[in-house]
């Protein structure tokens, strides 16, 4: 891991441990609630791994907190405004050719909205597991061409095109062209963690 990635991994680990301990949960309890291994929880809390977006989503839902609360170093904020400056977003995915998925902003749970800035280099693809029931995504292509796969059906988009889709099924973003593609992505998820809060969190 480079310094930026290591710093983010340590910050995520601290926040996950803090949230788990606030609920007086054991490592085994969080592992069971999130559907990930105990070893993964240990590695995340120690900052020893750069967890996947899927793992982070499972942890945030199990803990009943929004994903940005686990990954963001807060920028300037007040009761009305929270600012994330250029370069302050959390890089949560890096492609094999240098593409990046950056979480740049989000609003509080239980109804979560996340704003992402994605870059896919030629030939890169990011697959996502189905999110919780009712989750929707809105995507707008800024540069290049992107193929969005939703439940096995591919939808080709060019610069200026937009797509809204149900994200509670398996989906993926791919760049099948020979040039860089960039898109903005908003994720809307209802009731994050609500099923776990009633179980004692």
**Is the pLDDT confidence value at 130 over 80?**
yes
- Residue 19 has a CB neighbour count (10 Å cut-off) of 20
In a domain, 201, yes or no: no
Does residue 31 sit in the same domain as residue 98?
no
The boundaries of the domain holding residue 105 are 90-189
Number of domains in the chain: 2
In a domain, 162, yes or no: yes
Does residue 38 sit in the same domain as residue 112?
no
In a domain, 180, yes or no: yes
Which pair of tokens denotes residue 44? Answer: 């995340």
Does residue 45 sit in the same domain as residue 110?
no
In a domain, 199, yes or no: no
Q: What is the dihedral of CA 123, 2, 91, 36, to 10 degrees?
A: 90
Q: 112-120 and 100-106: which strand pairing? A: antiparallel
Q: Is the pTM of this model over 0.85?
A: no
Q: 162-166 and 153-158: which strand pairing? A: unpaired
Does residue 104 sit in the same domain as residue 45?
no
**Is the pLDDT confidence value at 1 over 80?**
no
Does residue 185 sit in the same domain as residue 94?
yes
Of the candidates 66, 63, 65, 192, which has an alpha carbon nearest to the alpha carbon of residue 132? 192
**Is the pLDDT confidence value at 201 over 50?**
no
**Is the pLDDT confidence value at 200 over 50?**
no
Does residue 20 sit in the same domain as residue 64?
yes
In a domain, 82, yes or no: no
């Amino acid at each position: 891991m480079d310094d930026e990635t290591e710093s983010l991994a340590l910050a995520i680990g601290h926040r996950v441990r803090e949230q788990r301990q606030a609920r007086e949960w054991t490592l085994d309890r969080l592992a069971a609630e999130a559907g990930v291994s105990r070893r993964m929880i240990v590695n995340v809390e120690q900052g020893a791994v750069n967890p996947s977006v899927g793992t982070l989503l499972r942890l945030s839902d199990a803990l009943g907190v929004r994903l940005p609360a686990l990954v963001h170093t807060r920028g300037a904020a007040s009761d009305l405004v929270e600012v994330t400056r250029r370069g302050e977003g959390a890089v949560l995915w890096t492609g094999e050719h240098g593409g990046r998925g950056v979480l740049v902003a989000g609003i509080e749970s239980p109804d979560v909205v996340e704003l992402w800035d994605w870059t896919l280099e030629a030939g890169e693809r990011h697959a996502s597991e189905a999110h919780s029931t009712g989750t929707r995504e809105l995507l707008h292509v800024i540069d290049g061409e992107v193929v969005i796969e939703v439940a096995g059906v591919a939808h080709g988009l060019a610069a200026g095109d937009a797509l809204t889709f149900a994200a509670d099924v398996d989906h993926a973003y791919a760049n099948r062209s020979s040039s860089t593609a960039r898109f903005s992505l908003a994720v809307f998820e209802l009731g994050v963690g609500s099923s776990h809060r009633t179980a004692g969190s």
